[in-house]
Homo-oligomer: A and B are copies of this chain.
Amino acid sequence: MNYACHLLVYLSIYTIVAQSLNLVVGYCGLISLCHAGYFAIGSYAYAIASKAGYGFVTASALGVSVGLILSLAVSLPAWMFKGDFFLLISLAVQIAIADVISNWVYPTAEPGTLRNLTNGPYGIAAIPRPHWLGHRADTMVSMAILALATAGLCMLITFLLVRSPWGRLLKCIRDDELASRGLGKPVRYTKLQAFAVSCGMAALAGSLYASYVGYIDPSSASLDNSLLMLSMVLVGGTGNFQGPVVGAATLLAFPEILRLLHIPAAAAANLRLMAYGLLLILLVHLRPQGIAGERQA
């Protein structure tokens, strides 16, 4: 039961992540490598706020706001850069976020203060379980329900967004930016919005993660994590609603299966990496219409 709840929480978190990343990859047609960074930003913001005594809603709202504002770091370059170059920019943002998180540390200051915001490589421990309106998610079941509810909310928002004229506009901009501008569409502003929603949701997923695991360190902002998130989107199929959910489930199931097969952790890590690579190559082969293709099998 606990194991099922654990899986459910993880699935919820990564469904949000994949769903939000899909807004950038599938609907804007830009491959981003810095999603783990926003995930980590959300978790750190949540951790600091909740350790300062704020409830789940306030703390995660803070996380979302920070993620939303910092999304400008990628959305402004997206005005100008596409393809290769955007990928490099997002990689730079990723490295910058990871660097800042690892280095915002000062030995004598308390974690969460301005001098030692992230506590650097030591991370922030003992993050309290989420509580709201006097209620506290102490059991695994209540945690799973919270995660599921949050994921449900995010999926509803995403669904409404991508099915709305706004989602159609995003896809049109992806298809032909110049033609969209020629129709008087606020192309740049719309991209900004898409990135803000995407990064905000990633931060929300990070808040959920921090509240569940109770400890965070800079590894959550690692490039590997970004690649994992990207793989979820690509595996599931970009540019549609159900794809990311499928992708998140597939890639979360994979290490669990390896664990059930009793493969040692070190070997499993490498195996996983290779499997991701293979999966990606296979997928690209089978979907020659490219990354942002709408029609998929």
Contact = CB atoms under 8 A, between A and B. Distances in A.
29 contacts: A31-B84, A33-B91, A77-B281, A80-B284, A80-B285, A81-B284, A84-B87, A84-B291, A85-B291, A87-B88, A88-B230, A88-B280, A89-B280, A91-B91, A91-B227, A92-B227, A92-B273, A92-B276, A92-B280, A95-B223, A95-B227, A95-B273, A96-B273, A96-B274, A96-B277, A99-B269, A99-B270, A99-B273, A103-B270
Given A99-B270, A99-B273, A103-B266, A84 B81 contact: no
Given A99-B270, A273-B99, A31 B281 contact: no
Contacts of A284: 80-81, 85
Contact of A83 (B84, B99, B285): B84
Contacts of A80: 284-285
Contacts of A84: 31, 83-84, 87, 291
A interface: dominant SS = helix
A294 interface: no
Contacts of A256: none
A138 interface: no
A110 interface: no
Contacts of A285: 80
Interface in A17-75: 31, 33
A284 B223 CA distance: 24
Nearest to A292: B84
Q: Which of A33, A85, A224 has the most CB of B within 10 A?
A: A85
Interface residues of A, number: 33
A263 to B, nearest CB: 15
Contact of A277 (B87, B92, B224, B270): B92
Closest 9 pairs between A and B when the two form their complex, measured CB to CB: A92-B277, A83-B83, A31-B84, A87-B87, A83-B84, A84-B87, A85-B284, A99-B270, A84-B84
A227 B83 CA distance: 17
A269 to B, nearest CB: 8
A45 B290 CA distance: 38
Nearest to A276: B92
Contacts of A291: 84-85
A88 B31 contact: yes
Interface in A194-247: 223-224, 227, 230
A231 to B, nearest CB: 10
Contacts of A277: 89, 92, 96
Given A33-B91, A89-B277, 8 more contacts: A31-B88, A88-B280, A89-B281, A92-B273, A95-B223, A95-B273, A99-B269, A99-B273
